[in-house]
Chains A and B, each alone.
Chain A
Amino acid sequence: MKVSLTAIKWQGYNDLFDLGVDALVEKIGAQLGAVEEVIDLGKKYDGVIVAKVVSCVDHPDADRLHICLVDDGGVAKDVERNQDGFVQVVCGAPNVREGMLVAWLPPGATVPATADKDPFVLEARALRGQTSNGMLASASELALSDNHDGLLEIDQAQSVWTPEGDKNPAPGMPFKLLYGLDDTIIDIENKMFTHRPDCFGLLGVGREIAGIQHKAFKSPDWYLEDPTFPSGDGLPLTVKNELPELVSRFVAASLKNITVGPSPIWLQSFLTRLSVKSINNIVDVTNYIMLLTGQPLHAYDYDKVKALSDGEATITVRHALENEEITLLNGKTIQPRKEAIMIATNKKLIGVGGVMGGADTEVDNNTKNIILECATFDMYSIRRTSMAHGLFTDAVTRNNKGQSPLQNDRITAQAISMIIEHAGGEIASDVIDEAQLKPQKPVTVTAEFINERLGLQLTADAMRDLLENVEFTVVINGSELTIQAPFWRTDIEIAEDVVEEVGRLYGFDHLPLELPKRSITPTRKDPLLELKSQLRDRLSRAGANEVLTYSFVHSKLLERAGQPADQAFALSNALSPDLQNYRLSLMPSLLDKVHPNVKAGYDHFVLFELGKGHNTNRLDEDGLPIEFEILEAVVAASGKAAPKGAAFYEARSYLEYLLQPYGIDLEFRPVKEPSLLPAMQVFDQQRLALVYAKGSDKLIGAVGEFTPSVRKNFKLSHYSAGFNISLVGLQKSMSASSSYVPLPRFPKVEQDICLKVSTDLPFQELADFVVAELHKARDPETRAVITPIDSYQREDDPGHKQITFRISIAHFEKTMTDTEVNGLLDVVAQAAKTTYSAERI
């Protein structure tokens, strides 16, 4: 929202700016909304001087040029003057003539229209042999409008506002004193005013600027007072509002015998300064009122509307019909969405209500009669229509904040009076006012309620003053305040809204900064976040790298990983197919990141991610998707960096290391039947183990290598494996009990036992057997540690493998001998022979 400080001054509020621009901007930021930019517009006009053309003769050597002498009151420095003190300027404008008052750009001045891009600085130079000291400027060169047909003629009779009082333009006056050009534009972020439609008008912002400085603001009389309309006739008009629930008020009137032409320069300048294009006096007046109040208006050519009506000029507010088209003022033809609020005659669409008018009924230079519209549209409907058709106009910016319908009548009255002032004509119909107005309800609140929420101790009187400054009506009864918001405010509905208003006007920067009081009850840390933090720490300490990848993936990524894409939640409005589906598990994303890192030169690494998986088949009792909290990791090595053996065992060793702190006796079970879980589909069933706590049926996770097609699809080397862990599964399997065994004081004896068994005997089965037999055989007063050492298969004997365990044993009461330990191992070997036909090597 661009705010012209000069325009607010011109409305009669000069005393709001004593603070100076910098301090004011800071105050606006703290109490109104973030200021994005401050533009010193007057700077553009530095050096431009009001001058009078005292003589004007034809250039002897050029047809279109004139040689002028100008009187600048002697203000310009370092310029060549004649004996009378006048300066010679060569001018090619067709309208230049003796006696006119113009804007002179002396040598050294910058052409204002070029100031923002490629500044053009004037100098004294010869034009066909005659010296021109700078130039006389057109409105376009002065960045006032697009008009470059001739020089800007300054009206000597039109007095201008200056800090020293009103003055008439005269030679030597700085040009920027004219037309409000000595202006500062403050751009306040629009989103600050999401709930403040009134602040999309200069009066609204001016009122706030007064309020936050604790100064009283009084709106102009025409805005505060109930309007009276002169009755008119000649141009009958019918309005049918078929959408009263979306258009709460529709005010319209016709005017006849107007003369369309350019607006006065001050108005053109006003619009240009606020980045609105000057069109003609009619459109400019509607925009002026909009910029002042926030309420958009629209003018239609009456005769064009009538021609498109069946009989009398008729305006209907309705939805668009199927396949109905309209060509807009911007030249585009659209088929409006069927929910759009449309303005139509009884035959044809003539405007997208509150968004943009239609080309068919545009006010042009030949327009004699107009219809003026001032309506209130449903803000959400306006926004959707604007988004659906990509139409972003000043009217949309204001209408989608929900303007107060209580102001339409007075705004219409002011617009009519301004149109008659600038374009002549008279009112030619009754002012039609179709309205469904809800009365504003007063809010009652106590001073304590407000103080408690702000941490302040303001009196009810002080609160009343703050509110009355911005034209609220406040009645105090004891400590109770009954507050009636002014009619333009749509945001004051509950007591907390008044808290905000009081706090903001008082100054949130003056609130007491006190911490809440707390007891010393210890805080509970979140178990899941704590677990994640531990896992993350432990894996990163083991050289693994934590990654984060998108929660949304391409369905093709799921397919490449062998996962059922139809079980993935799908976005209806994804940015691209790459982000179409929620993940079922993390592994496909991790695998997708392996090859790029290999290509970047990393030949052995472990990536892991902590994240969530979702499945359309898995909803909780409230019908919400269950979030599977998972950790997944991938181990990858290529070329010479790949260790010997299968990658499975590296992944497995990571998983064992990772879960070591949780006191779980892990069991790695081969897969008997193929799993249907999506997360398992990436794994080669022959090289996959499901991970459980020993003897339990609570699945903790899985570790495995990938199927040949997954390896191919993700360009993985044969040395690739991964694991997944369900964090909930892990939490359920954790054991708090310690497995610590006291250390014997006597020395330990270490001996190896190597057993040759059938290749088909699972390692774990033999290991469990050895442990069980040893524990059976040993003296309970010992501490025994059994460690697998090796697994060896002779090339010439594929039917067998030799597995070696190291037994380390110590007694709590005595020193054990080798003979005693040998005896124990003999017992174990004998048992293995009986059960597994194991041969001791």
Chain B
Amino acid sequence: MSVPLLSVSGVKSFYGSIMALKGVDIEIAEGEIVSLIGANGAGKSTLMMTISGNPRAREGRITFAGQDITRLETHEIARLRIAQSPEGRRIFPRMTVLENLQMGAEIDRARHFEEDLARVTKLFPRLRERLTQRGGTLSGGEQQMLAIARALMSRPRLLMLDEPSLGLAPIIVRQIFDAIRELNRREGMTIFLVEQNAYHALRLAHRGYVMVNGVITMQGTGHELLERPEIRAAYLEGGRH
């Protein structure tokens, strides 16, 4: 692997005195889809939030495109074009879809607004019909699409998605994962995906990591991980997908 776009090494992260990440190492290369799977409370979201600088890593080092971002503020990290679709979507409910997207374009100073708008509405045609609607009136799936589209408006170099399938119907989940795949194929977008839905996440990913209790326990290509019996036992057999 060439020089990774994002590299996390030896990162420890705390909530108060509780250590949530106990020395995590991951790498994401340009143009890759990397999935991080694990059970509830394993620390997946914490890792994503730590990359975003909230909470900051207490130990270890995070570099992005060769720059150390461990100590940067959240908004400074975002300005380096690391876009995040946070857990629970967190769209702006009283603002229209269009305004939500505009907020996403703020980093880019809205220089390519119309072009990017065309790009994300092509990816999620549902949003095009909803542009003047308030974010809070969208369905869960549309809100998730909006959250991803909003993140894309900043023209990110790295797109981080936290549980995009959470609480969505299987058909919507498939639509969203298709969009993610298309994004990567067509635009070469680098994507870091945190998921509980291990089957979908690993099938989509070039590489995957498995996290248990704040430690990375396994890694490999998506297919390798899907074949592993322990993964099948822990994350796949329990619930049919």
A and B from one assembly? Answer: no
Chain B interface (Cβ < 8 Å from any Cβ of A): none
